[in-house]
Chains A and B, each alone.
Chain A
Amino acid sequence: DIQLTQSPSFLSASVGDRVTITCRASQGISSFLAWYQQKPGKAPKLLIYAASTLQSGVPSRFSGSGSGTEFTLTISSLQPEDFATYSCLHLTGYPRTFGQGTKLEIK
């Protein structure tokens, strides 16, 4: 199975900050990586797919990059509604696996 490791697991930041979350795959997955935002009691929300394609309706302050084994999710200027947990997901073969999640908290 392909393992996805996110770093950091916890991140404390302030409104207006630029933050980056990394997702590393245990083997190459081309660009078949998606990023999700999840708030307590809610289903995951798709932000980015194909490593760097912004899902319709998602603010442009979110961006993704990478291919192969290393990927990043960047939020250019944190807004109050961005404090949540972020997870990556690979879709290269089976089983699909998620990263362990990064909890973004208000400093």
Chain B
Amino acid sequence: QVQLQESGPGLVKPSGTLSLTCGISGGSISTTNWWSWVRQPPGKGLEWVGEIYHSGTTNYSPSLKSRVTISVDKSKNQFSLNLRSVTAADTAIYYCARDLRVRGVTNAFDIWGRGTLVTVSS
């Protein structure tokens, strides 16, 4: 079955760039699914960051759009998140997730990675 695994630095300096990768195993990124990033500040709720299709088409949260880029690497079967100009407010557990398609429409995120904590601190 499809599994997702986040990887990347756990500590980023303020004003730096947060870079994470989500590796996909047990399946291909080149399906009809969209692939998302979701984050969760410690002790707080979940926030959708954005998503990508294997063609490279993206959708982003308006609150992060000016700082975020999500990209896909089909040769490595993975997708990535870059978040620029980070502050302490970007400290969170970052999850990657796959959407659940029902009759061609996203109805949920059904498969999640285990998440990775990224701390923004000098």
Contact = CB atoms under 8 A, between A and B. Distances in A.
Interface of A: 1, 32, 34, 36, 42-46, 49-50, 53, 55, 87, 89, 91, 94-101
23 contacts: A1-B62, A32-B105, A34-B107, A34-B109, A42-B114, A44-B46, A44-B112, A45-B112, A46-B108, A46-B109, A49-B107, A49-B110, A50-B102, A50-B107, A53-B107, A89-B109, A95-B48, A95-B60, A95-B62, A96-B36, A100-B45, A101-B45, A101-B46
Interface of B is mostly: strand
A105 to B, nearest CB: 15
Contacts of B108: 34, 46, 49-50, 55, 89, 91
A82 B117 CA distance: 25
Contacts of A49: 100, 102, 107-108, 110
A97 B102 contact: no
Interface of A is mostly: loop
B93 to A, nearest CB: 9
